[in-house]
Each structure stands twice: as structure tokens, then as C-alpha cells.
Amino acid sequence: MGERGPGVGFLGDLVREADGALAASPWYISYDPDTVRASVRDLDDRAPEFATACVGHGDPVSPGGREALATLAASLRG
């Protein structure tokens, strides 16, 4: 039997959803935006594949939750 990744990534207050995309939590949700951005990049480096991103604020991103996280992390690296 092959190994399967989780279908859902619970991202909580680390990110929020807006218009189907993920964004790092702003200062009024998380008091340290620099740490939030670093945490998003770190999570992207370590997270397995998942289809649905569940967030603390906004609608779940599905399908494509993992890709949305990667897109956000890439935008925070540059």
C-alpha cells in the first residue's frame, strides 16, 4: 500500500484567505508580522502535500491549498 499525504492542512491564524488566495496574517491578527512571514516560509519548506487549506479567517482553499501556501511563501521570499 502506498503512502498518502493528508487531505487537509490546518493553517489556523498563520494565514488568512482573501478571494481564493492565502495571505500572511496582518498585525491585527498576529502581533509580530515578521515572525508570521518567517513561519509561512518555514511551513512551506516542511509541509507535506494537502488538497485543502483550512484557515482561521476566510474560506478554506480547495483544491490547491498546498499550492496556495507555496505561492504565498514564494511571494514572501522575494
Q: pLDDT by residue for the chain (78 residues), tens digit each? A: 445 666 999 999 999 999 999 999 999 988 899 999 999 999 999 999 999 999 999 999 999 999 999 999 999 997
pLDDT value of position 54 = 97
pLDDT at residue 78, rounded to an integer: 73
What is the C-alpha to C-alpha distance for residues 30 and 35, in angstroms, rounded to an integer? 9
Question: What pLDDT is attached to residue 38?
Answer: 97
pLDDT for residue 1: 46
Grid cell 502581533 is found at: 31
Give the pLDDT of residue 45.
98
Collapse the DSSP code of 44 into the 3-class scheme (helix H, G, I; strand E, B; otherwise coil) and give the result: helix
Q: What is the DSSP letter of 27?
A: T
| Dihedral sign computed on CA atoms, order 6, 32, 18, 75 | negative
* CA distance linking residue 56 with residue 61, whole number of Å: 12
